[in-house]
Structure formats: structure tokens, C-alpha cells
């Protein structure tokens, strides 16, 4: 007769077996996510599960803001109002001139038969929180696919480009900031039209122009705007100002550090541009005669951005 | 030793309720999702509470719970799927293995063990990220586990509160 232990001694599989099971499951997910990006479906479902907790977590800050707003004194508000009025006056004049210039540009473009630039759709969004991840620079905004945000859209604030939407969930989206190490943006020097690609420099909160020849014509204080070559960022958005240039004869490239124009790491409200940026087909890899252009540099997140389009 | 010397140390705890465990883990997730300005030195509350329940109730909370919590953390923060799942599974395993030993120590002695456990989990997740090509964010991330371990006595007292409540007080009873 066989004896089996009573059921209350039964503790299931041994801890080591369980560890092997869960660890291999986690490792499989890691590989699927990092290499093949097959896990977006699972991620979209789980995001909805944590969404209530995340909105709840932003409540204390929102409440504090409302209480602070209630106690803001009238004189302060009046001062701010006057300040905004003068600023509006200044910008409206610029805007009028811009409108005229845009109309003129449109006519000229039609004349030369170039594609007319379409007006961009802008979705205002609020930054909910920074991702709790010291290894990357990401924020989560409160607009998602339901509001027309799609992966790959550029994100700007009042002063310039902040980053790019890298994942669009149903109700929220993740924005990778320009300063992230894996984020690249094609830029152009306003002064002389020199093209380059700016990469995030990581934790220092700056940008870097890589692969610029040591004798490239660039100087401190140069303004960089988007060149629009990649078809993702519309041309002409302010990106950064050159802050420091180190030219070393030992290296072929100069080390150029730039200060982002937008409040990339601060600020609460952003605009998600998007919808209709005109994306050209990527050119075929033809052969050795094809020159390497800055706008063609591989964007790390492109696979992600294309998946949803 | 006489019972009257340290009544709280001698009291037999009530059985834990599933609601307490679930609520504490949900609150820990909520604390992790709070918009912290600088995330590096902030302790990982989910890891801390998970360690606590793995040490106290290794039969109820274990690797499965850790794995699921890790997955939710990964998705909520938009990091690689499986990074925290792996770290928390290993953390739960280590905590369950050490649970018999840890409970013999005083609260601060336990906190020392917990510091090692939390640092281990942080190290696993750092290893995963560095393998995936991220840059090292600096040694400030080593502060999180230390602050987490410093919170251990507080967490222990708070989470055992529900089990310390007597159903009926009887002064004449031995225990």
C-alpha cells in the first residue's frame, strides 16, 4: 500500500524549479521585447491594468497644484496677465509676418512645383510623470491613440523640440526625450545651413553632434533647428544651441555639446505634432556610389514607429 | 523569560488576511508610480513589500507574485518587458530561502539582510539594462536599496499591525 503525504504538506514544486520556470519566462520576454518587439500586444493589455493606479498616483500633485492655484494672490495674477499681454503683442506681430511669409513661400513652392507643406495637427498634452527608470529619459503624457497620438510623432513645447513618441497606448503615451542616449534628431545650423545629427548625451541633459569633422564650420552659440530630412520632424523647429566645442587634432571628429532649446527635463505641458508629416520611401541600398547622408542615419526607434503606421 | 517582560514580542500573531497583502502590494505599486523628481535614490517600495511578505508568508507570496508585480512595474514605467519580472523573481527566491534565518534577528539585523536582498535585485535589473545597451546612470542607484532597508522596521511594524490587533483582550490568559 502506497502512502502519500497528507495534502497540507503538499507545497507544490520545489522553489528552485519555480525559480527556473519564472526566470526563463522573464528572460524569454526580455529577448522577445528587446530583439523582436513582439510583446506590444501584451504591453497594451497590461498598461490598461496599471492605468488606474497611475492616474491615482498623479492625483496628489494635481491636488497640490489646485490648492496652490486657489491661494495665488490677485496681484500676482494681474502681474502675470500683464506680462502675458505684452508677450502676446510681441508674438502676434511676429505671427502676422510669419503668415505673410508662409503664404509667399507657398506661392513660390507652387511655382517651382514642389510639394506644399501641409499644416501640422497639434494635440496639447500634459506630462503625467517621469518614467521610474534611471537608465533612460522618458516621460508619460496623458494623450494616447484615442486622441490621435501615434508612435513616431514629434513632441514640442513652447521653445522647441522635446522628444518623440516612442510608444502610444490607448490612453497614454511614452515620450523619449531628446537627451536619451538612443535618441537622434537631424538638425541644421541656422547660420549656414550645415546639416548634422544630434544625439542625446544621457544623464548630463545635453545633446551631442557626432561625426562632425574637426574643421566643420560651427561655433559657440549657433542655433540648431530640425532639418526635416527624415520626414519625421517638420523642418524649422528649434532644437538646441551649441554650448561647447572641443577640437582635438588627435581625433577626426570634433566634440560638440549643445544645450537643448526646450525645457526637456522640466515643464508640464507639451504639444504632440503629427498625423501628416510627409514621409518619403526609404531609398534602396544601391551600392558604393551612394553617399552617407546625415538624414539617413539609422534611427534606433524606427522599427517601433513603423509598427503602428 | 517571563511573558510580562516583552508582551509585544511574545504575542502570537493573528493569521494574515489576503486583503492586507493585496492592499499593501497595491499601495507599494502606487508609491512607485508617484512622480518622483529624481528616481535613483528613491527606494523600490514594491521590492521592499514583496521581500516582507516573502519572509513572513513564504507559502502565500512567492515567485509568481513577484513575477506578476515585476511585469506590471515594467509596463507602468515603459522599460524592457521582463526586467523587473526577472529581478523580483530572483528577489522572492532569495527572500524565501533566507526567510527562516532573517526572522531570528532584531529589526535592524533584519534590515541589514534586506539591504543585501534589495541591492541584489537592483543589481539584476542594472545588469539586464546594461546588457541591453543602456548607459550606467551612476552610483546613486545604490542609494535606493539602502534607503529601502532603512524603511524596513517601519514597514515591518506597519504591515504587522493588522495581525497584532487582539480579537478579545483577556488579562488572565497566559498568551
Query: What is the per-residue pLDDT for A120?
Result: 74
- Asked if B133 has any chain A CB less than 8 Å from its own CB, the reply is yes
Any bridge partners for residue A238, and if so which?
A225
Q: What is the pTM of this model?
A: 0.77
Distance from CA of A194 to the nearest CA of B (A): 29
For residues A300 and A200, give the distance between their C-alpha atoms in angstroms, rounded to a whole number. Answer: 12
Say whether B39 and A133 touch across the interface (CB within 8 A): yes
- Asked if A136 has any chain B CB less than 8 Å from its own CB, the reply is yes
DSSP structure class, residue A173: E
Cβ neighbours, 10 Å, residue A6: 7
Query: What is the per-residue pLDDT for A252?
Result: 82
- Asked if B64 has any chain A CB less than 8 Å from its own CB, the reply is yes
* ipTM for the whole complex: 0.83
Average pLDDT over residues A106-111: 78
Selecting from 3.30.310, 1.10.1760, 3.40.50, 1.10.3470, what CATH number does the domain B16-163 have?
1.10.1760
- DSSP calls for B30-50: HHHHS--SS-TTS--HHHHHH
For residues A277 and B140, give the distance between their C-alpha atoms in angstroms, rounded to a whole number. Answer: 41
Selected residue of B82, B90, B124 to mutate for chain A interface (largest A Cβ count, 10 A) = B82
- Asked if B139 has any chain A CB less than 8 Å from its own CB, the reply is no
Per-residue confidence in pLDDT tens, chain B, 175 aa:
333 444 455 567 888 889 999 999 999 999 988 877 777 788 999 999 999 999 999 988 989 999 999 999 998 888 889 999 999 999 999 999 999 999 999 999 999 999 999 999 999 999 998 988 887 888 888 899 999 999 999 999 999 888 886 666 667 766 6
Q: How far is CA B90 from CA A57, A117, B29, B121, B155, in A?
A: 27, 54, 18, 7, 21
For residues B164 and A248, give the distance between their C-alpha atoms in angstroms, rounded to a whole number. Answer: 68
Query: Regarding predicted confidence, which is higher, B87 or A76?
Result: B87
Query: What is the per-residue pLDDT for B6?
Result: 45
* Whole-number percent of chain A with pLDDT over 70: 85
Q: What would the pLDDT profile of A268-307 be if each residue is shown by its tens digit?
A: 788 898 755 555 566 676 655 544 444 444 445 544 444 4
Distance from CA of A171 to the nearest CA of B (A): 13
Distance from CA of B89 to the nearest CA of A (A): 7
Hey, is A111 helix, strand or coil? helix
Whether the CB-CB separation of B115 and A115 falls below 8 Å is answered with: no
Residue with cell 502512502: A3
Sorted by where each begins, the domain ranges of chain B are 16-163
Say whether A53 and B35 touch across the interface (CB within 8 A): no
Amino acid at each position: 500500500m502506497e502512502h502519500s503525504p497528507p495534502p497540507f504538506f503538499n507545497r507544490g514544486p520545489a522553489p528552485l524549479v519555480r525559480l527556473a520556470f519564472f526566470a526563463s519566462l522573464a528572460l524569454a520576454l526580455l529577448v522577445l521585447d528587446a530583439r523582436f518587439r513582439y510583446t506590444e500586444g501584451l504591453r497594451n493589455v497590461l498598461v490598461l491594468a496599471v492605468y488606474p493606479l497611475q492616474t491615482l498616483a498623479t492625483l496628489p500633485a494635481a491636488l497640490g497644484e489646485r490648492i496652490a492655484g486657489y491661494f495665488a494672490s490677485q496681484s500676482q495674477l494681474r502681474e502675470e496677465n500683464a506680462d502675458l499681454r505684452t508677450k502676446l503683442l510681441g508674438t502676434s506681430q511676429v505671427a502676422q509676418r510669419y503668415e505673410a511669409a508662409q503664404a509667399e513661400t507657398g506661392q513660390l513652392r507652387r511655382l517651382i512645383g514642389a510639394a506644399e507643406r501641409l499644416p501640422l495637427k497639434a494635440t496639447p498634452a500634459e506630462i503625467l510623470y517621469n518614467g521610474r527608470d534611471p537608465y533612460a529619459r522618458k516621460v508619460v503624457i496623458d494623450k494616447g491613440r484615442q486622441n490621435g497620438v501615434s508612435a513616431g510623432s514629434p513632441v514640442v513645447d513652447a521653445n522647441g523640440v522635446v522628444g518623440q513618441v516612442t510608444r502610444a497606448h490607448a490612453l497614454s503615451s511614452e515620450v523619449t526625450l531628446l537627451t536619451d542616449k538612443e535618441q537622434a534628431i537631424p538638425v541644421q545650423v541656422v547660420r549656414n545651413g550645415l546639416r548634422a545629427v544630434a544625439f542625446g548625451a544621457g544623464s548630463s541633459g545635453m545633446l551631442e553632434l557626432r561625426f562632425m569633422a574637426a574643421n566643420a564650420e560651427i561655433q559657440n552659440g549657433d542655433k540648431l533647428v530640425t532639418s526635416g530630412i527624415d520626414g519625421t520632424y517638420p523642418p524649422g523647429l528649434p532644437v538646441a544651441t551649441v554650448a561647447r566645442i572641443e577640437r582635438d587634432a588627435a581625433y577626426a571628429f570634433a566634440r560638440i555639446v549643445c544645450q537643448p532649446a526646450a525645457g526637456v527635463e522640466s515643464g508640464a505641458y507639451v504639444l504632440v505634432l503629427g498625423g501628416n508629416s510627409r514621409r518619403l520611401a526609404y531609398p534602396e541600398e544601391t551600392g558604393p556610389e551612394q553617399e552617407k547622408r546625415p538624414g539617413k542615419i539609422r534611427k534606433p526607434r524606427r522599427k517601433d514607429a513603423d509598427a503602428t503606421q | 523569560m517571563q511573558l510580562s517582560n516583552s508582551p509585544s514580542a511574545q504575542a502570537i500573531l493573528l493569521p494574515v488576511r489576503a486583503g492586507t497583502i493585496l492592499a499593501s502590494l497595491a499601495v507599494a505599486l502606487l508609491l512607485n508610480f508617484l512622480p518622483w523628481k529624481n528616481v535613483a535614490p528613491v527606494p523600490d517600495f514594491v521590492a521592499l513589500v514583496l521581500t516582507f511578505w516573502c519572509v513572513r508568508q513564504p507559502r502565500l507570496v512567492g515567485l509568481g507574485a513577484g513575477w506578476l508585480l515585476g511585469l506590471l512595474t515594467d509596463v507602468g514605467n515603459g522599460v524592457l518587458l521582463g526586467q523587473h519580472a526577472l529581478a523580483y523573481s530572483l528577489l522572492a527566491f532569495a527572500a524565501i530561502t533566507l526567510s527562516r534565518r532573517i526572522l531570528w534577528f532584531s529589526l535592524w539585523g533584519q534590515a541589514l539582510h534586506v539591504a543585501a536582498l534589495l541591492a541584489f535585485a537592483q543589481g539584476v535589473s542594472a545588469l539586464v539594462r546594461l546588457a541591453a545597451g543602456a548607459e550606467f546612470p551612476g552610483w546613486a542607484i545604490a542609494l535606493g536599496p539602502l534607503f529601502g532597508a532603512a524603511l524596513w522596521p517601519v514597514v515591518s511594524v506597519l504591515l504587522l499591525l493588522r495581525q497584532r490587533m487582539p480579537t478579545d483582550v483577556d488579562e488572565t490568559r497566559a498568551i
